[in-house]
Amino acid sequence: MALIVHKYGGTSMGSVERIKNVAKRVAKWHKAGHRMVVVPSAMSGETNRLLGLAKEISAHPDPRELDMIAATGEQVSVGLLALALKAEGLDAVSYAGWQVAVKTDSAFTKARISEIDSERVLKDLDEGKVVVITGFQGVDPNGHITTLGRGGSDTSAVAMAAALGADECLIYTDVDGVYTTDPRVVDDARRLDKITFEEMLEMASLGSKVLQIRSVEFAGKYQVKTRVLSSLTDPLCPLEQEMRSGTLITFEEDDTMEKAVISGIAFQRDEGKITVRGVPDRPGIAYQILGPIADANIDVDMIIQNQSVEGKTDFTFTVGRGEYQRAMEILKTSVQAHVGAAEIVGDPKVSKVSVVGVGMRSHVGIASTAFRTLAEEGINIQMISTSEIKISVLIDEKYMELAVRALHKAFELDQA
Ligand code: ASP
Ligand code: MG
């Protein structure tokens, strides 16, 4: 008998019919003897609808009120699911985040979980109840309702599993696992049976949006065994089959010899590249350029500073395309003259493609295979960055899909 947390995404909770299916699935697990906690998202489209209403009233809504509004989506979900579970003959109880309590800081719309009280939930579980807890929300030290940022129910579920010492956290979603790359770009992308949490972190941060990245960080920090799997299968399919489906996020590097060196090709289509040319090479220059960008809350990704020539250097970095214009403006209005840069140039149409795999640590030649592959396709690399388990290149947006396909093939990711 294990303690299991299930998380269901918006699509899985998308209609009364689907909620009934969720209840059937949870009932199957409960009948097999497991202690069950369920964390659902709002019904699909609901959070957008709620935030849209707020925007109709105010162009810049107070974040505290936004959280008050957005949190109701999940509250509806837990109530409906508890009803559906009761209809399945189970004893079920629903809670909002503050009732548990899921404690967070006060950063409205992007709060972080600080602590979860497990007492109440454990007591219910001891009494044989299925406990249904809202995803996405918590309560701050002053009793205000907070939300965890879009997609935050993943993090709620993993954090809950960590707090309860759950045996496994199953994230049910509308895809059947984590793939070697986006199947919309590469036809023969394959589902991975396992991925290490470090690889998952890279894949998630590099644009494969299966899980909210903070949930992966949580899984890693607290070693929560987490599985991503489909909610679109028959809810009454055999439990043993379901327990082995999807993709398991693991903590050890795989011991099997056959393990591929590379696990996946991740990409971020919408990047922009900015170069500050001819800046004097002196202490503080990077800070003077990137400080104002950070102050404007713009995330900077790849950064390169060139070798200086006659005391001058070039400084290049990338930002999300949506923030490219704003970053350019900040640099032109408040940085260029201040640091004495010759010019500021950029390209808003670049993409980042990354080869990810923990196996890279113990294998040489991964970078050269990647670079040769791109060269053979005639793709020019504009920037390169590496970590222990990934190699990223920045290229012209035009060639992104070609690069992903070529690398996927070069590393034989299409072969099981
Ligand atoms: N309902 C929230 C959202 O749409 C949280 C979630 O679904 O994970 O972002
Ligand atoms: Mg989601």
- 138 appears as a binding residue in the annotation: no
Question: Count of CB atoms within 10 A of residue 126's CB?
Answer: 9
Q: Atom 9 in ligand 1: which residue has the minimum CA distance?
A: 150
First to last CA, the chain: 33
- Can you tell me which atom of ligand 1 is nearest the CA of 152? 8
pLDDT (0 to 100) of residue 255: 57
* Domains of the chain, residue spans: 3-175+210-252, 264-410
Identify the band that residue 207 occupies on the pLDDT scale cut at 50, 70 and 90: low
- 28 appears as a binding residue in the annotation: no
Two tokens at 81?
A: 């699911």
Ion ligand 2, residues whose Cβ is below 5 A away: 9, 151
Dihedral (C-alpha) 121, 125, 126, 129: value to the nearest 10 degrees? 120
- Can you tell me which atom of ligand 1 is nearest the CA of 136? 5
Domain 264-410: assigned CATH number: 3.30.2130.10
Which tens digits make up the pLDDT trace of 131-141? Answer: 999 999 999 99
Name, in order, each residue with C-beta under 8 angstroms of 165's C-beta and a sequence gap of 6 or more.
Answer: 3
Q: Which of 242, 235, 247, 159 is nearest to 210 (CA)?
A: 247
Q: Residue 210: pLDDT above 80?
A: yes
Least confident interval from 53-57, 210-214, 380-384, 398-402: 210-214
Question: Beta strands 168-173 and 226-230: pairing type?
Answer: parallel
Indicate the angle between helix axes 213-222 and 153-164, nearest 10 degrees. Answer: 10
- 45 appears as a binding residue in the annotation: no
Q: Are 272 and 292 in contact (CB under 8 A)?
A: no
Q: What is the chain's mean pLDDT, rounded?
A: 94
Length of the chain: 416
Domains 3-175+210-252 and 264-410 share a fold: no
Least confident interval from 67-76, 148-157, 248-257: 248-257
377 burial (CB, 10 Å; 0-12 / 13-18 / 19+) is middle
Identify the band that residue 416 occupies on the pLDDT scale cut at 50, 70 and 90: confident
Identify the band that residue 208 occupies on the pLDDT scale cut at 50, 70 and 90: low
Nearest ligand for residue 41 CA: 1
CATH of region 3-175+210-252, choose from 3.40.1160.10, 3.40.50.970, 3.20.20.70, 3.90.230.10: 3.40.1160.10
Q: Are 404 and 185 in contact (CB under 8 A)?
A: yes
